[in-house]
């Protein structure tokens, strides 16, 4: 459960501002286009950006998110999240343990954790996480992942058994984001499908609408 002074993770598309996709665009420009489409949450992922440039980019993107009321998380980098004043971090299988991230960030920021199953979600909750990223839901070429693809049925089973809000990760785009929402996801992480679009802002708007449509279907299915 979120601490009273900690921001809530918005429901819907979870957009990644990634330095490995569309390198001709700066991270600040990518963030600006994502936010122009109405993105409610950005995760800034910098695997290739040198440290000084990464700090400057983090501060720029955090400030841009703050101006429009969007949540900004840093992938892995707790140090940059603190220095840039981000809303929190997301840590993966090989990153800083979530217990350590929570210890460094304190109670006022969001901690998300990548897990592969419901047992991992329960462990993340015990470690102080606020949400979990679960996947890969579908196959993905953006990031090498050794875990097996869950598929929608496997993903929905994890969602049902998770004690934390679940963000679907891996291969999510406009063609399937409504299905991820309908499976009960709190959010759906999108990388290439947004950043590779000719009109990034327009694609974000379409992703938002599709997720909301799928989520409404899930709500109706769960109604008594």
Structural domains in the chain plus CATH codes: 12-213 (3.20.20.70)
Q: Which long-range contacts (CB under 8 A, 24 or more apart) does 188-191 make?
A: 188/12, 188/13, 188/14, 189/14, 189/15, 189/16, 189/43, 189/133, 189/135, 190/13, 190/14, 190/15, 190/16, 191/16, 191/18, 191/21, 191/142, 191/143
The neighbouring-strand residues paired with 114 are 133
Q: What is the pLDDT of residue 5?
A: 75
Q: What is the pLDDT of residue 145?
A: 65
3-class DSSP state for residue 118? helix
Q: What is the pLDDT of residue 94?
A: 85
Strands 131-134 and 41-45: unpaired
Biggest alpha carbon distance in the chain? 54
Residue 220 · residue 184 · CB < 8 Å: no
Q: Report d(CA 6, CA 83) in Å as an integer.
A: 17
Q: What is the pLDDT of residue 153?
A: 97
Residue 108 main-chain phi, psi, to 5 deg: -90, 0
Residues of the chain with pLDDT under 70: 1-4, 141-145, 217-224
Provide the 10 A C-beta neighbour count for residue 53: 14
């Amino acid at each position: 459960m979120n601490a009273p002074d900690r921001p809530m993770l918005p429901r819907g598309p979870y957009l990644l501002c990634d330095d490995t996709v569309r390198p001709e665009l700066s991270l600040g420009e990518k963030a600006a286009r994502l936010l122009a489409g109405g993105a409610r949450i950005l995760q800034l992922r910098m695997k290739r950006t040198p440290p000084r440039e990464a700090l400057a980019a983090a501060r720029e993107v955090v400030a841009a998110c703050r101006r429009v009321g969007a949540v900004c998380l840093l992938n892995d980098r707790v140090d940059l999240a603190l220095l840039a004043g981000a809303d929190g971090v997301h840590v993966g299988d090989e990153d800083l343990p979530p217990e350590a991230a929570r210890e460094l960030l304190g109670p006022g920021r969001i901690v998300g954790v990548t897990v592969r199953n419901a047992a991992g979600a329960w462990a993340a909750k015990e470690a102080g996480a606020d949400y979990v990223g679960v996947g890969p839901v579908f196959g993905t070429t953006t990031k090498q992942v050794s875990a097996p693809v869950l598929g929608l049925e496997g993903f929905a089973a994890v969602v049902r058994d998770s004690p934390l809000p679940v963000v679907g990760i891996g291969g999510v785009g406009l063609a399937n984001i409504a299905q991820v929402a309908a499976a009960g996801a709190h959010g759906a992480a999108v990388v290439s499908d947004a950043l590779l679009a000719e009109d990034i802002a327009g694609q974000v708007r379409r992703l938002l609408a599709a997720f909301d449509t799928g989520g409404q279907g899930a709500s109706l299915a769960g109604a008594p």
